[in-house]
Amino acid sequence: MSKLSNYQLFEIIQNNSLDRVIRNEANAEFDKREISVDEISQLISTHDSLYKPDKETGLDLKYKIILVVFPFFIFLHNIIAAIILDKRKEYKFKQYWLYLSIGYVLWTAIVILFARYNLFKTESLKG
């Protein structure tokens, strides 16, 4: 640990997926070096500039339209889900389910209204 740079130690400490023992050793070495507050803020700014999270964009308009207009065609959903899961974008996957649900609700309402007004016509009782 003593051969690592301050930035490398900082990255080890920030990495939650590493073993706790390794992170504790790195933290002890970091404390032993007595780094100033200015240097720590510089490490933080360097870390933030290098590992800026990608801005999550939503689903493309064409996928939204397909999900709302054709919610019952499963093969289309397989294609869209494969594209979304391949990129591992959680925000897109949430939008996928939102627009798929909107499609199901919309088409269910259309079928119910169609059945109500065209299939089950009730004659008013005249008396």
- Summarize pLDDT for 104-117 with one digit per residue, the tens: 999 999 999 988 88
Domain count, the chain: 2
Q: How far is CA 51 from CA 16, 79, 87, 101, in A?
A: 15, 31, 18, 34
- DSSP H or E stretch at residue 11: helix 6-14
Same-domain status, 42 and 70 = no
Structure tokens at 4: 């690592």
The pLDDT of residue 122: 62
Question: What's the CA gap between 41 and 14, in Å, rounded?
Answer: 14
Q: How far is CA 104 from CA 98, 109, 111, in A?
A: 10, 9, 11
pTM for the whole structure: 0.50
Question: What's the CA gap between 64 and 84, in Å, rounded?
Answer: 13
Given a cut of 70, whether residue 11 has pLDDT beyond it is yes
The pLDDT of residue 126: 54
Instruction: Determine the structural domain holding residue 66 and report its residue range.
Output: 61-119
124 lies in some domain: no
66 lies in some domain: yes
Whole-number mean pLDDT of the chain?
83
127 lies in some domain: no
Given a cut of 60, whether residue 74 has pLDDT beyond it is yes
The pLDDT of residue 2: 78
The pLDDT of residue 106: 95
Q: Give tens-digit pLDDT for 15-62.
A: 888 888 888 888 888 888 888 889 888 988 888 777 766 566 778 899
Report yes or no: 68 and 106 within 8 Å, Cβ to Cβ. Answer: yes
Question: What's the CA gap between 65 and 100, in Å, rounded?
Answer: 10
Same-domain status, 75 and 37 = no
With vertex at residue 48, the alpha carbon angle to CA 45 and CA 49, rounded to the nearest 5 degrees, is 85
The pLDDT of residue 53: 61
Same-domain status, 73 and 97 = yes
18 lies in some domain: yes
